[in-house]
A and B are shown apart, each in its own frame.
Chain A
Amino acid sequence: MEFFVVQTLSGFSFAAVLFMLASGLSLIFGVMHIVNIAHGSYYMLGAYIGLSIYWVTGSFALAILGGALAIAVIGYGMQRFFLRRFFYPFPQVMMTMGFAYIFRDLALLIWGGDPLSFPAPEMLQGSIHLGEIVFPRYRIFIILIAICVAIGLWFFNEKTSYGAQLRATVDDHEMARGVGINVPLVSGMMFALGAFLAAFGGVIAAPAFGIYAGLDFEVLPLAFVVVIVGGMGSLKGAAVGSILVGLVDNWGKALFPDFSYFTLFLPMAIVLAIRPSGLFGEKVS
């Protein structure tokens, strides 16, 4: 019983991180129809910058905000000055790849390649003891944060006028411009938001999962799998996809450790075979 609870909760905490990573990717796809190869880099750099801010200020909150905002700015800059120059996806995707290489080397240059640890704030440290069950407090925190982010995104998307502008821009650039929406600004902000989410996820995850060289290309396939499973451009898809992938991966490793590597790709393969555009994805013609 205790095993079941702990494993499931662990799966959810992993899913929480995946959600923040994948929702950003999905968002970016939604607005620009490109796959951001630098998305893993955003995650990693967000964590590194957050850590540096923490070293300087000692404030966890500042670290999270600072790390995420810094990457949001970088994302905006990338989109505005480099990616928007093209009107079809292929060169945009290639450029994000070039950036991924640069970010990777930059991280090595600035922070070195040794793994670094990000201490969680005092009150979030330690574990909760409920009878036989021992579960790290910080991971509960991650789950709660992810839920807040999900609610926030949903609210923003469905209930605010900004969200409406966003949806209009995604649906039809021309028409959106026609009704007076500042399309370049909106798409830039959306891209920045996607970057923000990835970096936010990186900083939040850091105390539990660590920061080290190579993190960028390790999390990238994870984000892809979630989005393939959940469907591109869909927030619901990112949520469902993360939960599915997080739980299957966790339980897969626990029950069939010999196939650990493939537990990640199993949901993806199944979805691809049955419903190629993902569970909630827009139909790609």
Chain B
Amino acid sequence: MRLVKMIAQVDMDGCIGCKICERICPTLAMEVVEGKAKVNFELCLSCGNCQQRCPEEAIKMVKREKPFTVFVDPEQVDKKEIERICARAKMNPEQLACYCTETRVKEVVAAILLGADTPEKISQKTGIRTGCKVECIQPALRLLEAADIKPERPEGYQWYGRTPTIWDITDEIKELYSGRGFYFDADIELLEKIARQKENHEEGKNE
């Protein structure tokens, strides 16, 4: 869930039309038209990426008159389908996918099941990747892959690709480095245990 209180505002005199803002916006809310950056009022979730990277410092964040919230209710979709995709991605539906917006994996999967077939569309619907903008691209890509979706990359460099997971570490690498403080097998066991943990809040009934 993401509460959106601000919006990017471009100083047209300062904008040089370099397109950096367009290439890094996680919700595709920026577009350079006739040499000037334009903000899409609906799509801007006020992450501040453009403001932080504009080389001319021509973008600032201002308060919206009417704040709004983006959220996908996981109750809208089949719980079993959420569980199936999460199991394939080796994640727990309840775990966080995005620390800043406190978006849980089940909400991301619900967005995917409701038609979000790229990280950008997931961000537009859930707000994921609009906080720190750094840490949560991989959960989005792993969950899309688990839903058998190969997302199309946007023209910019919002993201490049799904990267290795601990399950991709070969036995040879494990053998080579496990004596150097890398506890791959123990971490696999831990992550799989957490992924399998059922939602159950009664004392003593955790796995």
Whether both chains belong to one complex is answered with no
**B interface residue numbers (CB < 8 A to A):** none
**A interface residue numbers (CB < 8 A to B):** none
